[in-house]
Amino acid sequence: MNNKTIQLKCPITIISELVVQEPKAKHLRGLKIGFDGIEMEMVLELAGTLTGQLPAVIDELSIEDMAELGRTVIDFLPSGLIPAGKQASAT
């Protein structure tokens, strides 16, 4: 399993880094996600699940740290996912 660790630029109380585990299908169950246009609520939920942190901790991340965490989480996802309920564009 590949884990990634990100250092928080604005640590929360005693948390200065988060270890993000590589997601499995069970982590995506029930989420309406896609590669483009992923809703922030879904990114936050998946980030909390993959880091093992409560929503209250994720909610307190700075925008800069949340952006880094969001990019890290999204990097684990395979390309080509589309938002639930949307059709793939014909190119």
**What whole-number distance in Å separates Cα of residue 26 and Cα of residue 13?**
30
Q: pLDDT tens digit string along 55-89?
A: 999 998 988 898 888 889 888 887 766 555 555 55
37 has pLDDT over 70: no
User: For 1-91, where are the E strands, in sequence order?
Assistant: 4-12, 15-20
Q: Count of alpha carbons within 13 Å of 65, Cβ hemisphere only?
A: 19
What is the spatial distance between Cα 86 and Cα 10, in angstroms, rounded to a whole number?
36
Residues 38-42: what's their mean pLDDT? 78
